[in-house]
Homo-oligomer: A and B are copies of this chain.
Amino acid sequence: MAKELTSRGENYSQWYNDLVVKADLAENSVVRGCMVIKPYGYALWEKMQAELDRMFKETGHVNAYFPLFIPKSFFSREASHVEGFAKECAVVTHYRLKNNPAGGGVVVDPDARLEEELIVRPTSETIIWNTYKNWIQSYRDLPILCNQWANVVRWEMRTRLFLRTAEFLWQEGHTAHASAEEALAETERMINVYADFAENFMALPVIKGAKSENERFAGALQTYTIEALMQDGKALQSGTSHFLGQNFAKAFDVRFATQEGKEDFVWATSWGVSTRLIGALIMAHSDDNGLVLPPKLAPYQVVIVPIYKNNEQLSEISTVVNGILAKLKAAGITAKYDSADNKKPGWKFAEYELKGVPVRLALGARDLENGTIEVARRDTLSKETVPLDGIDTHVKKLLDDIQVSIFNKAAQFRAENTTKVDSWDEFKDVLQNRGGFLLAHWDGTAETEQRIKEETKATIRCIPFDSQPESGRCVFTGRPSERRVLFAQAY
């Protein structure tokens, strides 16, 4: 292969870093912690955005845009929010540069200091609720169902491409409701949208559940999450939806006249997914040859490579390929024809394997004679030669099959790496030797959760919605417990 990848077995973490860079998804920029999302990576994000945006609109949401900057004082308004977010932030203190009087470039103009510092948004609850205050007077103004596609900044000390970066792209939904019930229903609706997207587009099986109090969003009464399992046995939180109660309405004094003629504070939710999903996608499905992308999100689903000895052959092949391209397009399949003649077919095969193109078609002179074409699928690396006639139908079926196969493979991996544990020794043993998801009893206290984290780095990923009532004893303290919760080490 042209570009060597570290194998997963050798060093999973290095494999991931290599893959992101070598598959041209993203790279680190000169600005600490900020990434450059390269065209191939951005194309993947655009596909994700398009589906999510459609799903948000189908569930009644509209997009809007709120300021990048938040006045510093806003972070002090909601008590727990300040603890969670007003810490590692980018702080704007000045609004002008000037030529260095000593020569050699520009310096910050000390006369252009802001009266109040501005924070580059780490999340937008505060500025949005300050805005909603003017939008809401009566129950007739509710619900407000806004989403925003935006960049946010959290000054993370240790960053990794897509998984944790200082600046990242995301969407943040912020809704306002007349009752707690309606807000809770919205919180649940959106975690279901995320789970639907993860499973049916990313081919990523996820466990839906509620966060423990320790792991809740700063300012939330309830945080729902979808948790996915990566190939190294670690969990990745892939999307969250928060029931914020009346906390932000109280912090920003957002009241409304109820239908009954009384006055009440407005109920809130917020929910978001980010470019982190790209990291999840990579780590869940890809292999030592490169990316494995689900067809529904692949920037192009098919690549066609001509095998030829001379220009005459290339010309004949290209004529046939153009017919195939037209048929694929008509079937709604995105395809790329790579007839570049400064690269050999073997190089191209490796390159598109690295980039995770779901289906590769190769067409040579002998195929033309025989009326056949070679079809290779990226997920299984298997090849077959099929009749050229009906290739569009064949590819369409194959893409559907690949989408399902990738999901099933990940689901099987998760099933094999989810363990019920009933003692503390077993908990530690499984975590150390197998990793994965652990279903264990927990006494429900924050203290126990904290101690388990300190001893094992495992956290409660969620209390799964589908966990059945079951009497048991906390693996750590032996105190009584009513249901198992999901533990794992996590990204």
Give the B-binding residues of A (Cβ under 8 A).
27, 29-31, 34-39, 42-43, 45-46, 62-73, 75-76, 82, 86-99, 104-106, 108, 117-120, 127, 130-131, 134, 140, 146, 150-151, 153, 155, 167, 169, 342
- In the complex, are the beta carbons of B95 and A82 less than 8 A apart? no
Q: Which residues of B contact A131 (CB under 8 A)?
A: 29-30, 36
Residue of A71, A106, A117 with highest tally of chain B CB at under 10 A: A106
List the 9 closest pairs (A to B, CB-CB), nearest first.
A76-B105, A34-B67, A39-B62, A37-B65, A91-B94, A95-B155, A93-B93, A90-B92, A31-B67
Bound-state CA distance A93–B96 (Å) is: 12
- In the complex, are the beta carbons of B95 and A91 less than 8 A apart? yes
Bound-state CA distance A37–B66 (Å) is: 7
Bound-state CA distance A127–B45 (Å) is: 21
Bound-state CA distance A394–B465 (Å) is: 52
**Residues A169 and B65 in contact in the complex (CB < 8 Å), given A96-B87, A96-B88, A106-B72:** yes
Q: Which residues of B contact A68 (CB under 8 A)?
A: 34, 120, 151, 153, 167
Q: Which residue in B27, B89, B90, B97 is a CB contact (below 8 Å) of A86?
A: B97
Closest to A82 in B: B106
Bound-state CA distance A94–B118 (Å) is: 11
Closest to A153 in B: B68
- In the complex, are the beta carbons of A46 and B31 less than 8 A apart? no
Bound-state CA distance A29–B120 (Å) is: 15
Q: Which residues of B contact A37 (CB under 8 A)?
A: 64-65
**What are some 29 contacts across the A-B interface (CB < 8 A)?**
A30-B71, A30-B127, A30-B130, A31-B69, A31-B71, A37-B65, A39-B62, A39-B64, A39-B146, A42-B62, A45-B65, A46-B63, A68-B151, A69-B90, A72-B105, A73-B105, A75-B97, A76-B104, A76-B106, A82-B105, A86-B97, A87-B96, A91-B92, A91-B94, A92-B92, A93-B93, A96-B155, A120-B120, A151-B151
Can you name 4 extra interface pairs (CB under 8 A) apart from A39-B63, A72-B97? A30-B131, A86-B106, A91-B93, A150-B151
How distant is A200 from chain B, measured CB to nearest CB, in Å?
24
How distant is A484 from chain B, measured CB to nearest CB, in Å?
38
Bound-state CA distance A109–B400 (Å) is: 54
Bound-state CA distance A382–B327 (Å) is: 46
Q: Which residue in B67, B130, B140 is a CB contact (below 8 Å) of A167?
A: B67
Q: Which residues of B contact A66 (CB under 8 A)?
A: 29, 36
Closest to A89 in B: B97
Q: Which residues of B contact A27 (CB under 8 A)?
A: 134
- In the complex, are the beta carbons of A97 and B91 less than 8 A apart? yes
- In the complex, are the beta carbons of A127 and B29 less than 8 A apart? yes
How distant is A108 from chain B, measured CB to nearest CB, in Å?
5
How distant is A270 from chain B, measured CB to nearest CB, in Å?
17
Closest to A140 in B: B342
Q: Which residues of B contact A82 (CB under 8 A)?
A: 99, 105-106
